[in-house]
Structure 1
Amino acid sequence: MGDIVNLRQARKQKARDEKLSAAEQNRALHGRSKAEKQRDRLIAEKAEKFVAGHRREPGDKGSQSVGPKSAPLFSDEPDA
């Protein structure tokens, strides 16, 4: 025969276990020291500056597209 299980106690234990796992995840995400947060912020700022420095501006000569849409249109009419 199987073991007798009190469903009320099982539900409460399951809820406690879920709270503990959520708390562990929050500690991993938010439990960082000030130095770690500052280091991560500096790394993110450096990466943003790098990307911004290599971004092409719309007025640059090199930004003109090359392809069929940018080719001059030709007509069948002869030039006068």
Structure 2
Amino acid sequence: MSNANDRQHGGDHYKDRGIQPWDYVAANNLGFFEGNAIKYLTRWEDKGGIQDLEKAIHFIEKLIETKSPKKDETQPERFGI
């Protein structure tokens, strides 16, 4: 029985890599946003070009958004304090 790394659907842009992006993501217990950013950063020169870099940035921006402290909207704004 073959494993998932023995085949790739939609191209061969990961075949010559030292490690498959999903193996790196799994080995480092990374989340969805990090994993997708790594995927796009890994393949950008071989598949999507600048658009893949923009996609990586988009996932990183969303990660930052989800990890940034939320402003407590129940507290009034304090100026000069």
TM-score, reference length from structure 2: 0.29
More helix by share: 1
- Tell me: higher relative CO, structure 1 or 2? Use CA pairs within 8 A at least 6 residues apart: 2
TM-score, reference length from structure 1: 0.29
